[in-house]
Every structure is written in C-alpha cells, then in structure tokens.
Amino acid sequence: MKYRHIGILSAMPEEIGTILEDLEDIKKVNFGDLNIYSGKWVNKNNQYIYLSIAFSGWGKVSAARATTRLIGNNYKNIPVELILFTGVAGSAQDDINQWDIVLGKCLIQHDMDATPLFDKLVIPPLKQKELIPNENILEHLFKRLTNNDLISKYSKYGKVKKGIIASGDQFVSDQESFMKILSNIPNLSAIEMEGAAFAQVSIQEEIPWLVIRVISDNANEGSEEEFSEFVKTYKKWSHQLITVLVESFI
C-alpha cells in the first residue's frame, strides 16, 4: 500500500516527537498560529515519501481546523493522499494498559447530543454516530504494527489492538465522567479529545484517514498525573511509532 504524500497530525508536539528532524527540504507554511511542516522522508533503502506534519492543539475544534488545513496542503505539487492522527489516549478497559496501541476501527464523538432531533451521538451532517476508516488501510497498518520488531521486541510498546475510540471536549479524570461515556459506548477502548473530529472532516472531505493512539492513562481518578508523566517519556518514543507508520506506506 503506497502513498506519495501523507499528512500526520497530533495534538501536541510531544506526540510528534523528533520526526521533523528526519525531513529533508523542509517547507513551512502557517495559517495564524497553525504551522504545517512538509518535507521529504527517506528510508534506509533510499525510498522516499513526502510528509506534511502539524500539531493541532487540544480539542475537537482545533483538530477539525488543522485537519482541513492539512488536507489542503500540497508539497512539490503532490496533494496529501492519506491522513493519520496519532498521539496518546486514556484507556477505557481494564485490559488495555499504558503503552498499548489502539488503532481506531470506529471513532465516536462522545459529547455529541442533538436529541430529540437525532439519536444520541449521531453527527447530524453525516446522520451516523460511528465513523469508520477504510478497512484495507486499518488491516494493513495493524499487520505492520503487530509484525514489527521496532514495536514488539525492543521497545516500551505493549499490545496492538483495533478498537473503538471516543473523542470529546473533556479531559476525563473522574469516575462519574468515565462511567457516563462508557454507559453510552460499552465496548469503548480509548478516550481522547480529537480523533472523531479529525475523522468527521476526513469523511466529509473524502480523504482516507486513520487514528492511532498510545495509552497514556486510565481516564479515571488521577489520570492527569499519569498523563503528564507519560507524555514526558512518550516524547522520546513517538519517533519509533511514527517511523513504522510512515514506512508502512512507502
């Protein structure tokens, strides 16, 4: 599965890590406070791919805005052909732990509620609540991550899992909020603040997309401390995951 130009989005610089340092021939464009860095990424076999990378900031509005800008970005006259959102998330299940990787097989906006006009969680312009990525891309990346030495053997990363990811404009750090989200979405794997907004824009703009999250905390009491500590360490490791993501599409 090959692409010429991939867009990579994270909410925070720590989630992108040092991948920007690997780019050649960097072009930076900015839209107000949003910077998009594009460049050429070359692997050990001298194959290359163009990357456009940005930090959106936290939350659904920031994610939607950055996604739209990133999709519209060209580099050397090649448009972005696939867009990935990667970063950290809180766990929604006891058997999903810190450093496990969740690939979003379905994204849901857990704070969308246009009842009684629409069913709970349904996104009105799409008339659906479940945002589903292209299955071939999901399977392709799942196989690459599960068979990858960088991820499985020599690193801190844990299990790789396909799961439901919910997004909302809330950092979840108490039992009541956690249970409310879980009661609406019982099979939930991970909770974060951007992925489902990114997915909505990608679907509406008709560009292939995928969300890849690494578990940082339990999305429950004390999650703010777990999250803050995790992100400091993750900054050093995100490069490894992003390298595998990029290699998978070259």
Q: What is the CA radius of gyration of the chain?
A: 17
Which range, of 47-55, 93-101, 112-120, 214-222, touches ligand ADE by CB under 6 A?
214-222
Q: How many residues bind ligand ADE (CB under 6 A)?
A: 14
Decide the pairing of beta strands 5-10 and 82-91. Answer: parallel
Stretch that binds ligand ADE, among 68-76, 82-90, 95-103, 158-166 (CB under 6 A): 82-90
Shortest distance, CB of residue 47 to ligand ADE, whole angstroms?
Answer: 33
Applying CB under 6 A, which of residues 56, 185, 217, 242 lies at the interface with ligand ADE?
217
Q: Report the candidate in 40, 32, 29, 107 with the shortest Cα–Cα distance to residue 72.
A: 29
Instruction: Give the DSSP H/E element, type plus range, for residue 9.
Output: strand 5-10
Question: Torsion over CA of 132, 210, 67 and 50, rounded to 10 degrees?
Answer: -150
C-alpha 131/C-alpha 70 separation (Å) is: 19
Q: Of the listed pieces 49-57, 92-100, 121-129, 189-197, which binds ligand ADE according to CB under 6 A?
A: 189-197
CB 91 within 8 A of CB 15: no
Interface pattern 83-102 for ligand ADE (x via CB under 6 A): -----xxx------------
User: Please, what is the minimum distance in Å from the beta carbon of residue 122 to ligand ADE?
Assistant: 22
Rule CB under 6 A: which residues touch ligand ADE?
88-90, 171-173, 191-193, 216-217, 219, 223, 227
